[in-house]
Amino acid sequence: MLLKSLIKPKERLITVQENVTLEEALKVLEDSGYRCVPILDETGTIFRGNIYKMHIYRHKSRGGDMHLPVTTLLKNATKFISVNAAFFNVFFSIKDLPYIAVLDANNKFYGILTHTRLMDMLSQSWNVNIGSYVLTVVSSGNRGDLAGVAKIITKYTNIASVISLDAQEGEMVHRIMFTLPAEVDADKLDRIVHALERKEFRVAEIEDLKKEG
C-alpha cells in the first residue's frame, strides 16, 4: 500500500479549476514557478488532468486563443492512482511524470505523489547515506539463493538493506544488491567477497558509497 506520508495533500497544493482560462492558468503557473499543476472540477474534488506551462506557451506562440478554457490543453487525464494502490504499481504509473495524482477511496482528489519524493524514499530505504559498499551479487535464481547469500554476509556484518532485481527477458540470472553498513572496511569487504565466491556466488559489481559521496 502507498504510504500516505509520501503524498502531498490537496490542501498544500496549487491547483486550477476547470472553468479558468488558459491565460489565468498561465498566470498561476508563472507565479508559482511550477511547470504543471492539477486541474480540478469546480467543486475542487474531482481530478480532471494536468495543465503544463510549456503547452500553454506553445499554444500562445502559435496565436492560439488564450481565453479558451484550461481543459483545452488538458493532459494526463487517466494518470492517477488510488491511495490504496499497491506500492509496486506506482512505478509503472508515474514513469516520466513530475507527479501523479492520488485519489481517495471515493475517487475524490486526495493529493499528489511527486517523482522526487518517491526517489527520496527509495534512497532512504536503500540506506545509501549511511552505508559503506553496495554489492551486486549474481545468482541463477535458484530457491534459497537470497537466504544463502544473506547467511554468508551476516557472518561478517549486518545488512543495511537489500534489493532483488528480477532477470531480464532472455536472461537466466538474478541480481541482488546488498548495502553494507558504514563500519564495513575494505578488509572486511574482501573477506565477504571471497566467502561469496567460494560458494559460487559471483559479485558482479562493488560500489564504494563513501568514495561516491
- Alpha-carbon distances of 171 from 106, 166, 167, 194, 206, rounded to whole Å: 42, 10, 6, 25, 21
Q: Is the pTM above the cut of 0.85? A: no
Q: What superfamily in CATH does domain 127-212 come from?
A: ACT domain (3.30.70.260)
pLDDT in tens, 145-202: 899 999 999 999 999 888 876 655 445 567 888 999 999 999 999 999 999 999 989 9
Beta pairing partners, 15: none
The domain limits of the chain are 4-120, 127-212
Q: What mean pLDDT, rounded, does the chain reach?
A: 88
Is the pLDDT at 2 greater than 70, yes or no?
Answer: no
Q: How far apart are CA 151 and CA 144, in angstroms?
A: 10
Task: Place 124 in a pLDDT band, splitting at 50, 70 and 90.
Answer: low
Across residues 90-116, what is the average pLDDT? 90
Higher pLDDT, 200 or 107: 107
Task: Place 72 in a pLDDT band, splitting at 50, 70 and 90.
Answer: very high
Task: Place 74 in a pLDDT band, splitting at 50, 70 and 90.
Answer: very high
Q: Considering the domain 4-120, what is its CATH architecture?
A: Roll (3.10)
Is the pLDDT at 56 greater than 80, yes or no?
Answer: yes
pLDDT for res 159: 93
Is the pLDDT at 210 greater than 90, yes or no?
Answer: no
Amino acid, res. 160? A
Across residues 111-115, what is the average pLDDT? 93
Provide the phi-psi class of 107: left if phi over 0, else alpha when psi is between -120 and 50, else beta.
left
Chain length of the chain:
213
Is the pLDDT at 111 greater than 60, yes or no?
Answer: yes
